[in-house]
A and B are shown apart, each in its own frame.
Chain A
Amino acid sequence: MLRELWNDAEGGFHPASAPDFLPTEALREVQLRRLRAVVAHAYEKVPLYRTRMDERGLTPAAIQGLADIARLPFTVKADLRDTYPFGLFASPMSDVVRLHASSGTTGKPIVVAYTREDVEVWSEVMARTLAACGLHRGDILQNAFGYGLFTGGLGAHYGAETLGATVVPISGGNSDRQIMLIRDFGVSAICCTPSYFTHLVERAGELGVDLRALPLRIGIFGAEPWTDAMRDHIEAAAGIRVFDIYGLSEIIGPGVASECGEQNGLHIFEDHFYPEIIDPETGEVLPDGAEGELVLTTLSKRAMPMLRYRTRDITALIAEPCPCGRTLRRMRRIGRRSDDMFIIRGVNVFPSQVEAALLAVEGTLPHYQIILSRQQGLDQMAVEVEVTPEVFSDKVGALEGVRARLAKSIEHILGIRVELRLVEPRSIARSEGKAKRVIDRRNG
């Protein structure tokens, strides 16, 4: 390619971003063509898809229009576990160039595969992600997503190289070194989980490094749900603009959807990943704008196509045009996952609700952890909150007042009693990947 003709080093769009701006009609045509191809491929190569479609009397010919996708059966996470390790692969191993696996909280991990073409698509959607967040050639991206079996590190790495940005492949952890390189290299963008970046901001303060005075200008965060209030806090504390990105290994890894400069919803790269919103109880497809569970179909994956994969993430699709000019539909930021939810004394609780309650009192989000236990047959919920300099006082009454206000704020939102414990700074374990917000000790 005639790289010298691109203007992407000055902030213009990289050519990879072109599909973001396809006229809607052309986009639907591409989607339908790819959908028909991927359904045929999955039906032919993967016994699980063939069996399920046969049971419903469906063949790939049943897909005449995009709406016909609703006739296909769902795929769920358990299907990946049940066919562990390679049961859903649609390509022979001789065509597979990469495997990734999730850590898996219970039992076996889930395994995902990529052909060379899949890796190219992944690189392209991650380049489009980074471009949408404002990165361009000339930027130095510190990639603090974990490299290895987790898709975050290599996904962002390939995307950044495709874009032409400079990658610092530091991976997760070793916060002091992260801060040193941000400063010494003049790093302009960083990608990691929002909770890990919060930790970096905290550590930089301790080391006397003012991130606001450095060239760092963009944060690209994903892999866990977070809130707008957390974004405001991070943007102010680090003097950067912060973008939410979305992805999951089962579909491709990071690169499924990304915010743009508007920071108002994430554009789904729907020329490769077809989104639906369903009622999580009935499975019924809901119209754009309605809140429900996100279901994704990979339109171009070869090694491991996913048909109507239930993500467990709760969101809504936004069909209204975005001022940025992208024609891709947006999804609302994911504040909660249906499997992050826990039930205590019959009440459904999402960690994001506890976060909102803590933010309402403190103004910024303190480090916290929810601990569930069972005492004499009754479920108990405790919230441990680290004391910050902002709320600490030499007076017992003032500190007791903070504790009571935090407890009351949570009880007000959830409607159940909680035990609120103030704990010492750094007593809650910091994560270098996804923050562990809930510890459930009720089993046994």
Chain B
Amino acid sequence: MKLQQLSVFLENRPGRLGAPLEAIAAAGINILTLSLADTAQFGILRLIVREWDKAKAILEQAGWIVNLTEVVAVEVPDRPGGLAGVLDVIEGAELNIEYVYAFSLRRDDKAVLIFRFEHPDQAIQVLLGQGLHVIDGDELMGYVG
């Protein structure tokens, strides 16, 4: 049920974001979504891609430091209060969220959020138990065609 997220270290200066994205694009790998966390001094680019192992190899070959993290994709009703409902479940179970970002793609009336939990396996059990839709890799790839 977990997704593999790639994280790439970047210096926080102009032009640094483009290079890793171009390297992945040049290999024909589709980037499903990304998020950038930054401080004044450095940034961390997080990526969900179709072929994470191939993308990781390409980035490392080109000299980037790449970290692999398991994240959880959860479907959220795309209406006011949709996210709040999911967060209620998470808080109620006292699951610790390291960070969260939205998936760029929407289908029907749903949105997808990517969660980085401290304990992803435990979180998946709780979310499934509450009837929430946790999206696995195959399903996610199916959406983007």
Q: Give residues in A with beta carbon < 8 Å to B.
A: 206, 387-389, 392-396, 399-400, 403, 421-427
Task: Please state if B61 and A424 are interface contacts (CB–CB under 8 Å).
Answer: no
Instruction: Given the known inter-chain contacts A394-B46, A394-B116, A395-B98, please indicate yes or no for A424 contacting B41, CB distance below 8 A.
Output: no
Q: How far is the CB of B73 from chain A (nearest CB, A)?
A: 16
- Separation of A10 and B39 alpha carbons in the complex (Å): 59
Taken residue by residue from 43 to 70, chain B's Cβ proximity to chain A (1 for < 8 Å, 0 otherwise) reads as 0101000000000000011011111010
What residue of chain A has the Cβ atom nearest to residue B71's Cβ?
Answer: A394
Specify the main secondary structure of chain B where it touches its partner: strand
Contacts of A389 in B (CB 8 A): 65-67
Which chain B positions have C-beta within 8 A of A421?
11, 41
- Complex Cα distance, B64 from A426, in Å, reads 9
- How many interface residues does B have (CB within 8 Å)? 24
Contacting residue for B37 out of A392, A396, A423, CB 8 A: A396
**Given A422-B9, A424-B10, A395-B99 contact (CB < 8 Å):** yes
A394-B44, A423-B11, A424-B64 given; 20 more Cβ-contact pairs under 8 Å:
A206-B61, A387-B9, A387-B42, A389-B66, A389-B67, A392-B9, A393-B7, A393-B67, A394-B5, A394-B67, A394-B116, A395-B116, A396-B44, A399-B42, A421-B11, A421-B41, A422-B11, A422-B42, A424-B16, A425-B64
For B98, the chain A residues whose CB sits under 8 A away are 395
Contact of B11 with A392 in the complex, beta carbons under 8 Å: no
Kindly supply a per-residue 1/0 record for chain B positions 13-50, scoring 1 wherever the CB is within 8 Å of any chain A CB and 0 otherwise: 00010000000000000000000011101101010000
**Which listed residue, B10, B39, B61, B65, touches A400 by the CB 8 Å rule?**
B39
B41 and A422 within 8 A (CB): yes
Q: Inside 8 A of A424's CB, which chain B residues have their CB?
A: 9-11, 16, 63-65
A425 to B10, CA, bound (A): 9
Closest to A400 in B: B39
Q: Could you tell me the distance in whole angstroms from the C-beta of A424 to the nearest C-beta in chain B?
A: 5
Residues of chain A lying within 8 A (CB to CB) of residue B5: 394
Taken together as a complex, chains A and B put the C-alpha atoms of A395 and B7 apart, in Å, by 9
> When A395-B98, A400-B39 are in contact, do A426 and B63 touch as well, CB less than 8 Å?
yes
